[in-house]
Structure 1
Amino acid sequence: MDELVKEGVKAKYITPPMITMTSPSHFTTITGRWIEDHGVVHNMMFNSTSLLKLTHKATLKRSEWWDNGPLPLWITAQNQGLKTASYFYPGGGANYSGQAVDRSLVENYGHPDDNETEWRQKIDTVMDWFTKEDFDFVTLYYGEPDNVGHNVGPETPERRKIIEQIDRIIGYLRTSIQKNKLTDSLNVIITSDHGMTTIKKKPEVKEIKLSENLNFMTLTHFDLLDYGGFGMIRPKKGKEQEVYDALKNAHPNLTVYKKEEIPEHFHIAKNSRIQDIVLIGDLGFNLNSRVIFYVNKGDHGFSNQEMDMKMIFRAFGPDFKKNFLAEPFDSVSIYPLMCKLLGVNPAPHNGSLTDTELMLVENVGAVTTGNPQSSSTTLPGRGGSIQMSVSLLAFVMLIISLL
């Protein structure tokens, strides 16, 4: 990782979307859209009317959870003649308006996240896709150091050990690129989905236990709680104000919003999947609903403004400058950067190429002003529309979960 700073680009940090969870953050990166636009509002697929709840891995092939209008880059690139693949990337196993990713591998239940031999095999497979099958764009996902961080906490020897393993696998990737003679044609972005923090536990603090202030049986219809620092509640009809009043001063480290009061800069309120009441714990304070049974030593889901929730960013390859330190930017702006590298005319997005273009060498194509109604429109709040003209280079994005 240190060598990559010399060989390419490092950002001081990246700000993830407000719901700092795996699925919402990954889909923001691959679409360039805020959560309220793309609709993947949680790791769990849910329906607050039928009371359906599905775990993260059970959602990975459920197109009705992922396909909400905005197209991920895999599909946009394919529609412009490129060949794309997803290796365990969340959302890669779904269909979008009937279209599937050219090549998609989806993680199964019980798949080991920490097997270093299997990590190398993934890279070998991706290198074959580029050299033998002419793929243009591949997203590759690794689930660690997420599990370790949850189980023992981020500031532990076990956590450092798994990060050393990640460092070795990045070294293996660099060697594989050289061995496969891709050094002059393959751009690589390494990033994460969010951060992790140590969870504050008794006896040091008073933990958040919502049942001490709220009767779930009589007042609530549906909730997504007991899941890190972010939660949602749908009160029973006519009980909205009563639920809000019961919770707004329930704990000094809890912030409660009615849906219509959610700050605009969160970019989550304008989606129908966001429930009537949104709760956010202060950094390190998990939300417990009926009982305190949460066993994680480390977690996320807290405000994206907290430094512990920020993402990493490294990039190297023929189109990136060397030894360049980039200023922080929002993760939505990774999308237009990827489009520029691929020569793809981007779909509407919330990112801005001005956030990242200084990290590129000067000859990476031209940027021209396009029709604001064209498919390259940048959505309101993030600058003008862009169209790309760039020599086509293969590209891989490597996602490390929670580094």
Structure 2
Amino acid sequence: MAGKLGVLLLALVLSLAQPASAHRKLLVFLLDGFRADYISDEALESLPGFKEIVSKGVKVDYLTPDFPTLSYPNYYSLMTGFVWLQETHSRQEGLARVAAELEGVLKAFDSELSKPSFRRFPTRSQAVSTPGRHCEVHQMTGNYMWDPNTNKSFDLGINRDSRLPLWWNGSEPLWVTLTKAQRKVYMYYWPGCEVEILGVRPTYCLEYKSVPTDINFVNAVSGALDVFNLKNAEVSRALLNSRSGQADLAAIYYERVDVEGHHYGPSSAQRKDAVKAVDTVMAYMTKWIQERELQDDLNVIIFSDHGMTDISWIDKVIELDNYISLRDLQQLKGRGPVVSLWPAPGKHSEIYNKVRRVEHMTVYKKEDIPSRFYYKKGKFVSPLTLEADEGWFITENRESLPFWMNSTVTRKPEGWHWGWHGYDNELRAMRGIFLAFGPDFKSDFRAAPIRVVDIYNLMCKVTGVTPLPNNGSWSRVMCMLKDPASSAPGAPPSACTLVTVLLALLAMLA
């Protein structure tokens, strides 16, 4: 009896164990501010590099970003997994929430058993609604944030306080998960790769210090492909120093499309030239993959963080000091589509009543922010959030309007911005792109729209790591793979397997 019982228990354990997934290498591109219609079917006719990628891989109709449609919230939504959920403040509280979620999973399992025929256990996103990676959970809620408890600020750009664990340790990005699993990760200009997150840094980080040039971009792509196959690589000794072996993930960030969209507008010739520059590099990349004989072992995923819309300085500016005294604010963060206000003590109601009457913008108390934004429970969300209508710009006054500097030594103001993002994430102009190709992806396949949180599961699947709990939808992305019948990354074993072992065990004990 004891021997048979031991065998059955071993079978149960093995059925619960997650087998190590086979995986290939992954090259990821984050093209900042690359709007969905920049590679419309019409636009593709003059973009041979992107057209080739679309023909040999997957293209979604569009990608819906997280709100606010700003860079840092979406950088982290794209790449992060599980967090201690929402408003928990300790590991114990987090574990309690996890236990509650597991109870929900068990209930879903019981429901599955009650059906006439056992089917595969639903994926986690199907079994229970799990807040996992929207910005209210990973806590990266803006390009500009303030923590009243420490009086520390996160400000877009290069500054010491923005590297504090305070902002980054709210979640575990994929590159940290891979590094912890002894995988090699190389990152080029990727925002955050220079930060020690949860005590971990990637294998290699070429830190972002200024907008990468086109030459920087070309060198990053060539260097990334080299570290995937060091046998035939021409890689500098400095890069390889203390880092031997092939890369598992390389991630490249490119900003020029966003910069030109801001400076000149999304319909400008300058923005179009920036897209053509990317297209040229994409064409070279597909050629280089063949030359390095990586086509059977490398998947490539290309996405953006948000889109871009036109703005006008002549007639679409909301000047806050026309309505309130800025001295009545403890803190103000951000300009443009989303502005965060921390009223001084005793001034909350007064400020709210004044700004709520302003046309072309909506003011939200923190608790009244629409749930569809997945924003209001963020740790660093202000008591009052101002959201502008599309194309409108909120600022303290016209003297505070942002201008961009020219590249000459004089650094003189060149002009006002004519494009911006950050608006409602359901607006057409805020939509981003998603493309993928490689041995795991279908060819010449058009997919329905996906959301920014869906990409994490797909990246986990092709890299062979179990995703941390998240609220991305596997059903929206599984159709892109050549083997769509394969289980979701980290999916539990089938109900039939579990039930068979459990029933046999009960029979032995009867």
The interval holding the TM-score normalised by the smaller chain is 0.7 to 0.9
| Cα distance change, pair 225–98 in 1 and its aligned pair in 2 (3 A) | closer
Match of 1:126 among 196, 213, 224: 224
In 1, distance between residues paired with 2:485 and 2:300?
15
Runs of 4+ with >4 A deviation: none
Does residue 317 of structure 2 align to residue 216 of structure 1?
no
The one-letter code matched in structure 2 to 1:75 is V
Question: Partner of 2:207 in structure 1?
Answer: 106
The one-letter code matched in structure 1 to 2:334 is L
The normalised TM-score by structure 1 is 0.85
Match of 2:68 among 19, 26, 35: 19
Does residue 176 of structure 2 align to residue 78 of structure 1?
no
Does residue 341 of structure 2 align to residue 250 of structure 1?
no
Does residue 478 of structure 2 align to residue 370 of structure 1?
no
Match of 1:326 among 447, 452, 462: 447
**Contact 2:478–2:484 at 8 Å: present in 1 too?**
no
The one-letter code matched in structure 2 to 1:40 is M
- Give the deviation of 1:62 after TM superposition: 0.7
The normalised TM-score by structure 2 is 0.68
Question: Partner of 2:340 in structure 1?
Answer: 232
Question: Partner of 2:29 in structure 1?
Answer: none
Does residue 136 of structure 2 align to residue 36 of structure 1?
yes
Question: Partner of 2:458 in structure 1?
Answer: 337
The one-letter code matched in structure 1 to 2:261 is G
Flag the structure with more relative contact order, 1 or 2, with Cα contacts below 8 A and sequence separation at least 6. 2
- Give the deviation of 1:55 after TM superposition: 3.1
Question: Partner of 1:175 in structure 2?
Answer: 287
Match of 1:270 among 377, 382, 399: 377
Does residue 299 of structure 2 align to residue 187 of structure 1?
yes
- Give the deviation of 1:112 after TM superposition: 4.3
In 1, distance between residues paired with 2:60 and 2:137?
26
In 1, distance between residues paired with 2:479 and 2:436?
13
In 1, distance between residues paired with 2:75 and 2:161?
12
- Give the deviation of 1:18 after TM superposition: 0.4
- Give the deviation of 1:361 after TM superposition: 0.3
- Kindly tell me the number of residue pairs found equivalent between the two proteins: 363
In 2, distance between residues paired with 1:147 and 1:302?
17
In 1, distance between residues paired with 2:62 and 2:68?
17
| Cα distance change, pair 265–134 in 1 and its aligned pair in 2 (3 A) | same
**Contact 2:316–2:391 at 8 Å: present in 1 too?**
no
| Cα distance change, pair 238–175 in 1 and its aligned pair in 2 (3 A) | same
**Contact 2:179–2:201 at 8 Å: present in 1 too?**
no
In 2, distance between residues paired with 1:60 and 1:158?
34
Greater Rg, structure 1 or structure 2?
2
- Cα displacement string for residues 170-197 of structure 1 (whole angstroms, at most 9, x for unaligned residues): 1111111111110111000111110111
In 1, distance between residues paired with 2:223 and 2:160?
24
| Cα distance change, pair 291–271 in 1 and its aligned pair in 2 (3 A) | same
What is the DSSP-based 3-state SS (H/G/I as helix, E as strand, rest coil) of the residue aligned with 1:6? helix
In 1, distance between residues paired with 2:299 and 2:167?
27
The two structures, once aligned, show a CA RMSD in angstroms of 1.9
Match of 2:366 among 235, 256, 259: 259
**Contact 2:64–2:431 at 8 Å: present in 1 too?**
yes
**Contact 1:337–1:356 at 8 Å: present in 2 too?**
yes
**Contact 1:224–1:232 at 8 Å: present in 2 too?**
yes
In 2, distance between residues paired with 1:61 and 1:26?
15
**Contact 1:319–1:364 at 8 Å: present in 2 too?**
no
In 2, distance between residues paired with 1:244 and 1:342?
48
Does residue 191 of structure 2 align to residue 69 of structure 1?
no
What is the DSSP-based 3-state SS (H/G/I as helix, E as strand, rest coil) of the residue aligned with 2:305? coil
**Contact 1:27–1:91 at 8 Å: present in 2 too?**
no
In 2, distance between residues paired with 1:61 and 1:229?
22
In 2, distance between residues paired with 1:337 and 1:162?
28
Does residue 146 of structure 2 align to residue 46 of structure 1?
yes
| Cα distance change, pair 238–163 in 1 and its aligned pair in 2 (3 A) | same
Please state which structure has a larger fraction of its residues in helix: 2
**1:130-169, aligned counterparts within 5 Å?**
130-132=228-230, 133-169=245-281
Question: Partner of 2:396 in structure 1?
Answer: 289
Does residue 355 of structure 2 align to residue 306 of structure 1?
no
Runs of at least 5 residues in structure 1 that lack an aligned partner in the other structure: 372-403
**Contact 1:211–1:291 at 8 Å: present in 2 too?**
no
- Give the deviation of 1:2 after TM superposition: 1.7
The one-letter code matched in structure 2 to 1:23 is Y
Does residue 54 of structure 2 align to residue 8 of structure 1?
no
- Give the deviation of 1:313 after TM superposition: 0.7
In 2, distance between residues paired with 1:79 and 1:186?
21
In 2, distance between residues paired with 1:24 and 1:216?
26
In 1, distance between residues paired with 2:367 and 2:321?
24
**Contact 1:27–1:90 at 8 Å: present in 2 too?**
no
In 2, distance between residues paired with 1:266 and 1:5?
31
- Cα displacement string for residues 310-349 of structure 1 (whole angstroms, at most 9, x for unaligned residues): 1101110011101111111110010000000011001121
- Give the deviation of 1:206 after TM superposition: 4.5
- Give the deviation of 1:126 after TM superposition: 0.5
**Contact 2:64–2:451 at 8 Å: present in 1 too?**
yes
In 2, distance between residues paired with 1:241 and 1:87?
46
| Cα distance change, pair 178–328 in 1 and its aligned pair in 2 (3 A) | same
In 2, distance between residues paired with 1:54 and 1:363?
42
**Contact 1:184–1:317 at 8 Å: present in 2 too?**
yes
In 1, distance between residues paired with 2:195 and 2:170?
13
In 2, distance between residues paired with 1:206 and 1:128?
48
**Contact 1:61–1:94 at 8 Å: present in 2 too?**
no
In 1, distance between residues paired with 2:68 and 2:357?
22
Runs of at least 5 residues in structure 2 that lack an aligned partner in the other structure: 1-49, 82-132, 231-244, 403-415, 494-510
- Give the deviation of 1:57 after TM superposition: 2.9
**Contact 1:44–1:56 at 8 Å: present in 2 too?**
no
